[in-house]
Structure 1
Amino acid sequence: MTKERSDTLSLLKADLNQNRLVEAVQLLADLHPADIADLFEALDQHEKKKLFRELDIDTASEVIAELSEFSQDQILADLPHQRLGEIVDELDSDDAADLLASVPKEVVEEVLASIDVEDSREVRRLLAYDEETAGGIMQAELLAVPQEATIADTIKHVREHGKDLEGLANIFVINSRKQVVGQMSLRRLIISDPGDIVAEVMDTSVRPIPVEMDQEDVARIFQKYDIISAPVVESDGSLVGRITIDDVIDIIEDEISEDVLRMAGTHEDELVYGDQIWKISRFRLPWLLITLVGGLLTGYLLWLFKVALADAIVLVTFIPVIMALGGSVAIQSTTITVRGLATGAIDLRRLGRTVYKETRVGLLMALACGLTLGIAAEIWHRNPVLGLTVGTSMALVILVASLMGTLIPVAFQRLGIDPAVSSGPFVTMVNDISGIVIYLSLSSAFLKYIAG
């Protein structure tokens, strides 16, 4: 937050604490709704509720659409249903559906019954779709014209119905069955002759999005084809909504946050629940328990090799570096693989190419690190066999870690499990176990030369 925002926040808190509510609202008068939302996020629950009650309906509807789910839930907790209905009536259909998704069903019914019938019907339809599909993120508001219309007819239609439509970039063209057959950008509309028929000048390369498509796939299509907006269609091709680039930006941000949090062994809802420490702990604890189990198994393996370690205590000095390098390589490979699967850069149908590449990279790193550690071990302890054993172990551990970091996320993907959950604590546990087994097994084989 900039100094200007920090100063505004201090003044805002002071006004709220002293119940100078008119002054508090005036502080927000010239700010963009997104900036107001940033200030709201820095307030406590009581302050949020007090300030939100004072906002006019237009400002309240714009601000609540910009807030995090956590702040929305705090404000909606005891918001009068009549005021909620007034706010929902001002929102775009997709924002209204997102807001009502976390509200009890009986409240949703009461709110939808209080707003315009057509708006209510659109929101109900959006609420029926899975929130992570194209249907769940689309908005019902759009402009569509029949393919036999003229450019003059289309311009008139835009003027009559497009005034309140945000993010208008394309007008979709439909046939008699309401199926999308093309689209027309505003630029094309302006430069075309008023007497031209839409079907003759429209862009037929439009890419309709199936209503059940996963939101990640939607984002990939927008990115691949540089799309600003796209029509959403039912299985029969009929037009039901549109998705705009601002929706896709939100998807990308959400998916990246989700993957990063899962790779850290926690959950995206941790951002939603803010300071609710019990719920946050419940998200983190399962993965920490996996790490705990992995640590106990690693300790048990060390106990099994206690004879080798007792006879050649020098072996203990290289366990940290072997485990650390192996873990680092595994996390690197896993991160690259998870990201490649998420963006589509890694194709499961051509998995062999990816494994071949990671094998070569892993082999090169294994030779470099293994040789370096082996030379260091020989110089340090004046034992060539020790150097050879440590260096070979290091090379094998890195090679195995590189392959595991690639294959484990792919295996999760094939099983229908988000590959992001395969990294972090899980890979660390598997890598620790395999690293100890490789190192101490090889050391035991040459123990008499090392101990002697």
Structure 2
Amino acid sequence: MEDLDRQEILDDVSYLIEAKQAPKLRAIMLDAYPADIADLLTHMEGDYRHYLFAALDRHTAADTILEVDESTRQELIEAWDEHQLAGLVREMNSDDAADFISELSPELAAKVLKLFEPEESAEVRQLLAHEEDTAGGIMALELVAMAQDSTVEEAINEIRKKADEIETINHVYVTGEDRRLVGIVPLKKLLLAEAYTHLSAIMNRDVISVLVGTDQEEVAKLARKYDLLSVPVVDAQGRLVGRITYDDIVDVMQEEVAEDISHMAGIASAEDMRDSSIIRTVRLRMPWLVIGLFGGLVAAWVLSFFEHRLQDNILVLMFFVPVVMAMGGNAGIQSSTIVVHGLATGSIDVGDMFRRLLKEMRVAFMNGFLCGALIWVIITIFWRSPEFGFLVGASLLCVMFIAALVGASVPLLLKRFDVDPAIATGPFITISNDILGLFIYMAISTMYFWYWQ
């Protein structure tokens, strides 16, 4: 929604709210997309927001509350009781219902689930039993599954029967004994087949599926690699238990990208851009800042360690500390970002560690040599000191080489130990390279002034 359009709509909606025209608001919002209504809600003041949300019909409200940001959703939830919330949950698919209930307090979630029929609450509890970031945690239970000896006509009738229950149907899942997944039939193939044809004759037997415990990031990679609209989920025995649709896969991709960017910036992934709580934001950002502070103190200690050794030359050396540290940081960030991106997209595997490191070492050496040669030329021309230019150039080469090696190797090592490699970028690389860069620069300078002068 464009800013100008949003402001115009906000003015019109605010006018209707002030006039207490709830029926008109409900009628207008029936034709609006839930994402657009959510966008309006996040840009409205508290009382106006609550009035608009309360004016929505139940189905629209259920779709809309899933689209708003976390802080707005919590505010809307706090204004409703368990009966109203239960009405919203009944309008949601099972995966959305489980996600929504998981955000409620344990006491409120228990009250909401008590208002459901045992069969309905059992579905939600089944999904809540899985880890949040796994295939089981994001799957939906609504799907069309047929026995392999069923006919095309029976499958189409089943689709018609479940049309209101299932929002999107791309495949019919074919099961064998004990509900084991044996194949899938794309909707197009189903519509083109003769009515009397058995599903076993037209199904694709090479099924790409995931286990309930598979990490959601791996599910997203699989869907991206094979261009899947939905991914069936099976248990350890191969029995079909649910499916993950493309909208949930897109959400996972967005969530993982946001999490990686947060790690790269040294910000907790739980931070919400629209969260108005200053204390919460400070608490989320402080850990990396404190680590950076101590990293800076270590760098200061490195400088003080070499102070008496370089007492007569420390001033001229300090002129080039920003250059050495900045170039080392840039080289490290470049290498770490490339490796983290490759690991995230699957283009780099942990098995490629040595080949990847060898390439980064070659690139770092070439870049360091060229930058070192350039700084030597500049110092020789403007400072008329080729020896000192060689000192700074050699330091720059070593610092950039080590920084790139650290930047490339740390993400690969973290990935090998199942730790998110994104934390190796941003503040981590900056802190480590500041300390290493200063130490290398000062160590080379010490050797130069002690042994060659």
Conserved? CA contact 1:206–1:230, under 8 Å: no
Which residue number corresponds to residue 443 of structure 1? 445
Which residue number corresponds to residue 431 of structure 1? 433
> After superposition, what is the alpha-carbon deviation per residue over 1:347-406, rounded to whole angstroms, capped at 9, x for unaligned?
112211110111111111111111101111121211111011010000111111100101
The CA deviation at 1:420 is 1.4
Q: Distance in 2 between matches of 1:374 and 1:16?
A: 70
The CA deviation at 1:411 is 2.3
Corresponding residue SS for 2:284: helix
- The residue identity in structure 2 corresponding to 1:442 is I
Corresponding residue SS for 2:184: strand
> Which is worse superposed, 233-242 or 406-415?
406-415
Which residue number corresponds to residue 242 of structure 2? 241
| Shift in alpha-carbon separation, 1:100–1:369, aligned structure 2, 3 A | same
Conserved? CA contact 1:15–1:21, under 8 Å: yes
Which residue number corresponds to residue 365 of structure 2? 363
Q: How does 1:405-424 map to 2 (within 5 A)?
A: 405-424=407-426
Among 392, 403, 411, the alignment partner of 1:401 is: 403
> After superposition, what is the alpha-carbon deviation per residue over 1:174-215, rounded to whole angstroms, capped at 9, x for unaligned?
012100000101100011111111101111111121011000
Corresponding residue SS for 1:247: helix
Which residue number corresponds to residue 193 of structure 2? 192
Report the TM-score, using the length of structure 1 for normalisation: 0.95
Conserved? CA contact 2:331–2:403, under 8 Å: yes
**CA RMSD after TM alignment:** 1.8
Conserved? CA contact 1:385–1:449, under 8 Å: no
Q: How does 1:205-244 map to 2 (within 5 A)?
A: 205-244=206-245
> Which is worse superposed, 383-392 or 54-63?
54-63
The CA deviation at 1:139 is 0.4
| Shift in alpha-carbon separation, 1:259–1:294, aligned structure 2, 3 A | same
Corresponding residue SS for 1:115: coil
Report the TM-score, using the length of structure 2 for normalisation: 0.95
Conserved? CA contact 1:68–1:272, under 8 Å: no
Which residue number corresponds to residue 392 of structure 1? 394
> After superposition, what is the alpha-carbon deviation per residue over 1:50-95, rounded to whole angstroms, capped at 9, x for unaligned?
3222222111111112122222111111311111111101100011
Conserved? CA contact 2:142–2:165, under 8 Å: no
Q: Distance in 1 between matches of 2:407 and 2:290?
A: 21
Q: Does 1:114 align with 2:121?
A: no
Identity %: 36
Which residue number corresponds to residue 265 of structure 1? 266
Corresponding residue SS for 1:270: coil
The CA deviation at 1:28 is 3.0
| Shift in alpha-carbon separation, 1:127–1:272, aligned structure 2, 3 A | farther
The CA deviation at 1:448 is 6.0
Conserved? CA contact 1:93–1:119, under 8 Å: no
Which residue number corresponds to residue 306 of structure 2? 305
Q: Distance in 1 between matches of 2:281 and 2:212?
A: 33
Conserved? CA contact 2:94–2:140, under 8 Å: yes
Q: Distance in 2 between matches of 1:328 and 1:16?
A: 53
Corresponding residue SS for 1:171: strand
Q: Distance in 2 between matches of 1:194 and 1:23?
A: 47
Structure 1: gaps (5+ residues): none
Which residue number corresponds to residue 284 of structure 1? 285
Conserved? CA contact 2:86–2:112, under 8 Å: yes
Matched positions, count: 451
- The residue identity in structure 2 corresponding to 1:380 is F
